[in-house]
Amino acid sequence: MANLRLMGFTMLRIDNIGKRYGERVIFQGLRYRFGAGCVALRDKNGSGKSTLLGILAGTIDADEGDVWINGHSLRGAPLRAKSALAYVPDECIAYPFQTGREFLELVASAKKTVVGSDTLNLAHRFGLAPYLETRFDQMSLGTRKKVFLSATTLGDSSVIIADEPGNGLDAAARGVLMDLFRTLAKDRAVFFSSHDLELTEGCGASTIDFAGLGAVGYPVT
């Protein structure tokens, strides 16, 4: 798998994706192929970044088109596609009574693996050790984000989708995040949204906007 990743293999393919809410077209005609590397989505507020990332993660249904993760269609083979995916939403909301450790165990169980030393080491680097037994409804936004970011190392994910991953993180955690994304991007597709130039550069990410993704009606910049 690692070799395939390094040989220019397309890990994430967006194929003619479109989404509208009522009469309002959010975007349409998005086409793009992502190989190993880190890409940051930058566009104006309200352009549909979170909607697009939700579609790529399989949490929002697209009106048209399909998403292919590691060669598996999100429509045709959703479980296989999602097995190769790790997602960090903007508002990291889990079950309020779940502790950090229980959340990691649940994600690991869904991906048919266990919480290993890689994940625990990352959690410790994020300074999560005192919070692993804390319930989600007692965690700050930053702590919740760190738990979700730690979960990206669970299973054999080829694609990492993150919506504003730097939100709520302190300076030390931002450093760990940059290091994490740089490491993951060596053999995985990391696609995240951010307005934070410093974070984007720190992750070694190239930037793209909706026009770059081929959106119909967007001027190419």
Q: Which is nearer to another protein, 36 or 81 (CB)?
A: 81
> How many residues of this chain bind another protein (CB under 8 A)?
34
Judged by CB under 8 A, the chain residues 181 through 210 that form the site for another protein are none
- Applying CB under 8 A, among 36, 67, 85, 132 the residue interacting with another protein is 85
| 27 touches 17 (CB < 8 A) | yes
Q: Which is nearer to another protein, 30 or 154 (CB)?
A: 154
Report the C-alpha gap between 77 and 96 in whole angstroms: 30
- Applying CB under 8 A, among 1, 2, 110, 129 the residue interacting with another protein is 110
Segments of the chain assigned E as strands: 12-21, 24-34, 37-41, 64-69, 72-73, 85-88, 159-163, 189-193, 206-208
Examine residue 79 and tell whether it contacts another protein (CB under 8 A). Answer: yes
Examine residue 109 and tell whether it contacts another protein (CB under 8 A). Answer: yes
- Shortest Cβ distance from residue 8 to another protein (Å)? 26
| Single-letter amino acid code for the residue at 100 | G
| 115 touches 97 (CB < 8 A) | no
Examine residue 80 and tell whether it contacts another protein (CB under 8 A). Answer: yes
Show the binding pattern over residues 147-186: x = contacts another protein (CB under 8 A), - = does not.
-x------------x-------------------------
| 203 touches 181 (CB < 8 A) | yes
Show the binding pattern over residues 124-153: x = contacts another protein (CB under 8 A), - = does not.
-----------x-xx---------x-----
The length of the chain, given as a count of residues? 221
Contacts of 47 (CB under 8 A, 6+ apart): 27, 210
| 168 touches 145 (CB < 8 A) | yes
Q: Token digits for 149? A: 């970011």
Report the C-alpha gap between 42 and 51 in whole angstroms: 13
- Applying CB under 8 A, among 25, 106, 120, 208 the residue interacting with another protein is 106
Give the residue from 152, 30, 16 showing the smallest Cα distance to 84: 152
- Shortest Cβ distance from residue 219 to another protein (Å)? 31
**What does the binding site for another protein look like in residue numbers (CB under 8 A)?**
54, 57-59, 78-83, 85, 87, 89, 91-98, 102, 105-111, 135, 137-138, 148, 161
